[in-house]
Chain A
Amino acid sequence: SQQGEEDPQALSIQEGENATMNCSYKTSINNLQWYRQNSGRGLVHLILIRSNEREKHSGRLRVTLDTSKKSSSLLITASRAADTASYFCATGLLTQGGSEKLVFGKGTKLTVNP
């Protein structure tokens, strides 16, 4: 089963609107990260939130983390056509063997219409 799952799978909005994407996970985490991927390109790290943090901001991005609900949300405010991309959450967790591991979800495909 998937550790991190994004919701919705796809989101289409108009330029200027806000976009909210959610990520749910199953096990305890060290941190949760959000990445962006433009079509046919590599992923770009956006923001990291630690398990003892509740909210973090970076420019037009706002990330929240609710460890009691095992969920996170990524809010992009005042969206632009250039924000069109897929967005992935990645959960950082400790394995049973004691090593650390980053597990990616399947992503939310965001389309911002001009």
Chain B
Amino acid sequence: DGGITQSPKYLFRKEGQNVTLSCEQNLNHDAMYWYRQDPGQGLRLIYYSQIVNDFQKGDIAEGYSVSREKKESFPLTVTSAQKNPTAFYLCASSPKGGTSPLHFGNGTRLTVT
């Protein structure tokens, strides 16, 4: 079955450490996205990529970094510069980007103490 895999499901880190969240898709989609979700809030866009080796900042990119070296993979690094990193992180993909419907992974819950 095609889909998006995020790992790990739960991640715990100490303040000051960088951490990388994995996102892999086998849907052959061009576009991939990272969102952050806080309790009772909607999704906020961190970064997105429409094509391999290219990505753009979303609305809340500060303190985060990404890479897109392969079509299937779009890892997100939460750096120590992110002031409030504890959140639920969702990766998504779509066939051609724009405003086409998104397919989501099941998220990674990151807790930083």
Query: B-contacting residues of A (Cβ < 8 Å)?
Result: 2, 4, 30-31, 33, 35, 40-45, 48, 88, 92-93, 100-102, 104-107
Segment at the interface with A among B13-21, B64-72, B76-84, B93-101:
B93-101
Question: Closest chain A residue to B40 by CB distance?
Answer: A106
Tell me the dominant secondary structure on chain A's binding face: strand
**B26 close to chain A: CB less than 8 A:** no
Contact A88 B42 (CB under 8 A): yes
Interface residue count on the B side (C-beta < 8 Å)? 21
Q: What 4 pairs across the A-B complex have the smallest Cβ distances?
A: A92-B99, A42-B104, A100-B98, A104-B42
List A contacts of B40 (CB < 8 A): 106
Known: A88-B42, A107-B42. A42 touches B107 (CB 8 A): yes
Give min CB distance, A24 to chain B, whole Å: 14
Give min CB distance, A67 to chain B, whole Å: 15
**B28 close to chain A: CB less than 8 A:** no
What are 9 of the A-B contact pairs (CB < 8 Å)? A4-B42, A41-B107, A42-B6, A42-B90, A42-B92, A42-B104, A42-B105, A100-B98, A101-B99
Contact B102 A43 (CB under 8 A): yes
Complex CA distance for A44 and B43, rounded to whole angstroms: 13
Give min CB distance, B35 to chain A, whole Å: 8
Question: Closest chain B residue to A29 by CB distance?
Answer: B99
List B contacts of A107 (CB < 8 A): 42
- 6 further A-B pairs in the complex, CB-CB below 8 A; given A44-B104, A104-B42, A106-B42: A41-B107, A45-B102, A48-B101, A88-B42, A101-B45, A106-B40
